[in-house]
A and B are shown apart, each in its own frame.
Chain A
Amino acid sequence: MFFSMFKYSFKRLLRNKVIAFWLIFWPIILATLFHLAFSNILSDEQFNDIDIAIVNAGNNEEFVDVLKDTGIYNISEQSLDEAKKMLIDKEITGYITVGDEITATVNQSGINESIIKMTLDKYEQVSNSYTALITANPQIVQSDFLTEFDFSHDYIGSQTQNKNNLNLVVIYFYTVIAMAALCGGSRGAEDISGIQADQSDVGARTAVSPAKKSVMFFASVCASITTTFISVLLVVFYLMFALKVEFGNLFGYIVLLCFISSVTSVFLGTMIGVLVKKKLPFKIGLVIAITMVGCFFSGMMAIDIKYLVQEKAPLLAYINPANLITDGLYSLYYYGVGERYYINIAILSAMAVIFSIVTILVIRRQKYAHL
């Protein structure tokens, strides 16, 4: 009995084109748009050599050599007017005027401009330091110390080359997966509608049939969970292989997270289905609204919101299923398998259990005096 009902529910769901669109194709389209729009968004985090011009370079050749030795500048020597024009047209970040004093002219107080300032400051400061040292210890001039001292020793160097999975754009894609999973709730709501005689014709026929309501319900919920799980996996595969989104290497744990999210979302849908006393389109609308609000607070529209909620309102982060899914994927990517992942899994599972208990408690008592 169970298996034949499961089979027919499964077939029915596979043939429902509208739902297939919203659960599979819409996340894929959205993820593709994200991929196209965000592919270059971290480009200004990549340091490129700074373009500068030097005016009156002949006044201090030593300074120009020092600049060239830093290895981070593309230097051209220009006249003042030419340099000004290049700065206005943004061909250079700034130009340096060499005279009695060395000054720089830039467009704004940005990072690269501050690097130019630091370089200029360092040139002046180093000679002051040497002078002060020689004044305090005149004998130092006779030794090799001053010529051998490495003023450019790097105490930070290798540490900053740790490429530690810092691609924050992946969060957008994880929220798309959360959205795909939570939209499965609409299937849960449909299942409830299918056994409520006052909600649909199918429900009325089910109520008069000899089939046990519990078996029917359980079979259709299993079919919903299976199809939602398959849809979510399809979206994950597309992101992983077509769009090359980074997930880390822990595929098994990702599949587990997807399965539990599918279960939670279907039972969320069934719970909404039994608690809300309106027609099916309203219930589906409510599921979609909860999904989109949940995705908003897990960073789909602006990543900063996820961090803000995490820091300022952690309770909201823990009860938002979209955030739990997004955070689970993020923790696998950034931290690997650990406490944070298991906490997300545990809360999602607990939610699934609570939603299913509520659903069963309400549905058990529903009988119809007449149809």
Chain B
Amino acid sequence: MHTFKLYFKIISRGLIWSFLMYFGIFSLFAVVFNNTGDREKSYEFSLYKCDTVVINYDDSKFSDSFEEYITDQSSVKNDIKSEEEIKDALFFRQIQMAVIIPENFSEDFLNGKNPELKVEAIPDSPSTHLMSLMMNSYLNTYKLYYDGNSGFSEDEIISHVKADLSKESEMNILNDSSKGNLSGINFFFNFSAYVFLAMLILSISSIMAIFNELNLRRRCICSPTKEIRFSTEYFMGNLVISLAVWFLFSVYAFILYPEQMLSQGGLLYALNSLAFVMIALSLGFLLGNVCSPKIISPISTIISLGCAFLGGSFVPQELLGENVLKIARVIPSYWFVRANNTIAETGVFTSGALKEIFGYMGIQLCFAAAFLAAALVIIKRKRTASV
């Protein structure tokens, strides 16, 4: 078992820092994005509150009441005060709208001059439509009472407007127990596609490239140990490292999401990631037999990042463009992420749903088999070529 032992010696000396770095990056992202996950689905409707900033240069009861209404109906950020801060906050989507009530707005408004509020917002976006609807509602209702000679005082108008606008319609949320809600753990496993690829391709292909180095290979061929023995020990080394990484990540998932991992969904996630690890294993094996040690690092970085971006690990698949999704079907991590997303959305695992998920796992195993077959063909070619 010398080769097998040597395999792990190389890993522990050369690659342990890379492993720790990737694991560290992954942990950082997993923890940071953990709190965006699995909130208990609320069956009570609540108004979506846009992030806004209100700056009121007009000093009047009317504008104060208007500002109060906007504050009630949206989530106002009080720490943003200047116009430059507003521009930055809007660009980085920390706010969706900034409303600036100009000086003399109430005077112009009440005298029929139809002044416009100064607004900074994302053009023609849903949040802009929502805020416009809300603000126009207030202004038009106020105008109705004012222009209609209602005889009310300013305070009376304000309280009438408030009373009118507090009438709300009944909104129900559909109680559909067939839908699941596993978004946090889903992100964890989708992101793990990048880390599996990066860690396993780098380690497996580096070690295989080392073992395939010409002089070393010549010495091995001359040795009394049979070549099949070497191949078996390389294979066992690759398999053990892949299973170890998979097991480590499954345990980590269990620590972060204990309840979800103990459910049917959790088991399916673990199985799906095992299928993906097989792809990483065979791809690493292929690259190790094809590339020289010098170019392994850039190639593994490009492949892992490329697959992660195009497969939907970093950007959700529903936000990728049409053309990208067409190309993505040839990328193995696309199917991994698709299976994960299906697991996340399925609340009750019917046989139809399971068939779909296992189908995606099957596609991944086909990819793994294809890479392995290609690697074996290349090995055979090298063997029959002159050494």
Least distance between B299 CB and chain A CB atoms (Å): 11
Q: How many residues of A contact B (CB 8 A)?
A: 85
- In angstroms, Cα B302 to Cα A30, docked, is 8
The winner among B46, B50, B315 for most chain A CB atoms within 10 A is B315
Q: In the complex, A27→B141 CA distance in Å?
A: 55
Q: In whole angstroms, how far apart are the Cα atoms of A37 and B124 in the complex?
A: 23
A164: chain B residues at CB < 8 Å are: 120
B48 nearest in chain A by CB position: A114
A128 within 8 A of B: yes
Q: Does A118 contact B (CB under 8 A)?
A: yes
Which residues of B have CB within 8 Å of A364?
Answer: none
Which chain A residues in 328-369 approach chain B with CB under 8 Å?
Answer: 334-335
Q: Cβ of B228 < 8 Å from any Cβ of A?
A: no
For B129, list chain A residues within 8 Å (CB). 47, 72, 115
- A301–B133 CA distance with the chains assembled, in angstroms: 35
**Which of these, B132, B174, B298, contacts A21 with CB under 8 Å?**
B298
A111 within 8 A of B: yes
Once A106-B45, A106-B173, A159-B118 are accepted as A-B contacts, the answer to whether A137 and B148 lie under 8 Å apart by CB is yes
Given A26-B298, A159-B118, A166-B91, answer yes or no on A151-B47 (Cβ-Cβ < 8 Å). Answer: no
Q: Report B236-260 residues with CB < 8 Å from chain A CB.
A: none
Asked whether B123 is an interface residue with its Cβ less than 8 Å from the other chain, the reply is yes
Shortest Cβ distance from A139 into B: residue: B149
Check A161–B148 contact: CB distance below 8 A.
no
Contact string, A94-135, partner B, CB cutoff 8 A, digits 1/0? 000000011111111111111111111111111011101100
Min distance, Cβ B301 to any Cβ of chain A, angstroms:
8
Q: In this assembly, does B314 line the interface, its C-beta being within 8 Å of a C-beta of chain A?
A: yes
Nearest Cβ in chain A — how far from B55, in angstroms?
14
In the complex, A140 has a CB within 8 A of chain B? yes
Complex Cα–Cα for A111 and B132 (A): 13
Assembly CA distance A155 to B152 (angstroms): 23
Q: Which residues of A contact B90 (CB under 8 A)?
A: 166
The answer to whether A209 has its CB under 8 Å from any CB of chain B is no
**Distance of B244 from chain A, by nearest CB (Å):** 26
How many residues of B are counted as interface, with CB atoms below 8 angstroms from the partner's CB atoms? 83
Asked if B92 and A47 sit within 8 Å, CB to CB, the answer is no
**Closest chain A residue, CB of each to CB of B115:** A155
Residues of B within 8 A of A41 (CB): 315, 319
Chain A, residues 131-159, CB within 8 Å of chain B (1/0): the string is 01100110010000110011111111111
Contact check, B144 vs A33: say whether CB atoms are below 8 A apart.
no
Interface residues of A in 8-62 (CB under 8 A from B): 18, 21-22, 26, 29-30, 33-34, 36-41, 43-47
Residue of B with least CB distance to A130: B144
Roughly how many angstroms separate A153 CA and B140 CA in the complex, as a whole number? Answer: 7
Which stretch from A191-199, A235-243, A265-273, A302-310 is at the chain B interface?
A302-310
Known interface pairs A72-B129, A124-B167; A106-B174 also in contact (CB < 8 Å):
yes
Q: Kindly list chain A residues whose C-beta atoms are within 8 Å of the C-beta of B92.
A: 168, 303-304, 306-307
Asked if B104 is at the interface of the complex by the 8 Å CB criterion, the answer is no
Query: B225 an interface residue at 8 Å Cβ cutoff?
Result: no
What B residues does A123 contact at CB under 8 A?
169
Let me know if B126 is at the binding interface, CB within 8 A: yes
Is A66 part of the contact surface with B, judged by Cβ < 8 Å? no
User: Is the Cβ of B47 less than 8 Å from the Cβ of A114?
Assistant: yes
Q: Verify B309–A136 contact, CB threshold 8 A.
A: no
Residues of B within 8 A of A216 (CB): none
Interface contact A46-B124, CB-CB below 8 Å: yes
Tell me, yes or no, whether B88 is within 8 Å of chain A by CB.
yes
Contacts known (A29-B302, A36-B324, A159-B117); A103 close to B172, Cβ less than 8 A: yes
Given contacts A33-B306, A129-B144, contact A136 B132 (CB under 8 A): no
Task: Determine the chain B residues whose CB is within 8 A of the CB of A103 once the complex forms.
Answer: 169-172
Residues of A within 8 A of B305 (CB): 30, 33
A155:B164 contact, CB within 8 angstroms? no
Chain A residues whose CB sits within 8 angstroms of the CB of B178 once the complex forms: 88
What chain A residues lie within 8 Å of B294 (beta carbons)?
18
B125 on the A face (CB < 8 A)? yes
What residues of A have a CB within 8 angstroms of the CB of B170 in the complex? 101, 103-104
Is B134 an interface residue, CB under 8 A from the partner? Answer: yes
A182 is an interface residue with CB less than 8 A from chain B: no
Contact present for A118 and B125 (CB under 8 Å): no
In this assembly, does B71 line the interface, its C-beta being within 8 Å of a C-beta of chain A? no
In the complex, what residues of B have CB within 8 A of residue A137's CB?
148-151
Which residues on the B side are within 8 Å of A101 (C-beta)?
A: 169-170
Q: Which residue of A lies closest to B90 (CB)?
A: A166
Q: In the complex, which residues of chain A have a beta carbon less than 8 angstroms from the beta carbon of B176?
A: 88, 107
Give me 16 A-to-B residue pairs in the complex whose CB atoms sit less than 8 angstroms apart, sorted by A's number. Answer: A22-B298, A33-B305, A37-B315, A101-B169, A111-B130, A120-B171, A121-B167, A121-B168, A132-B150, A133-B148, A137-B148, A156-B131, A157-B116, A162-B123, A306-B92, A307-B89
| New contact pairs (10) apart from A113-B45, A124-B167, A160-B121, CB-CB < 8 Å | A37-B310, A41-B319, A104-B172, A109-B46, A124-B169, A155-B139, A156-B119, A156-B136, A307-B89, A334-B91
Q: Which residues of B contact A (CB under 8 A)?
A: 29, 42, 45-48, 50, 87-94, 109, 114-137, 139-141, 143-145, 147-152, 160-161, 164-165, 167-174, 176, 178-179, 294, 298, 301-302, 305-306, 309-310, 314-315, 319-322, 324, 327
Ranked 5 nearest A-B pairs via Cβ:
A120-B169, A40-B321, A307-B92, A114-B48, A103-B170
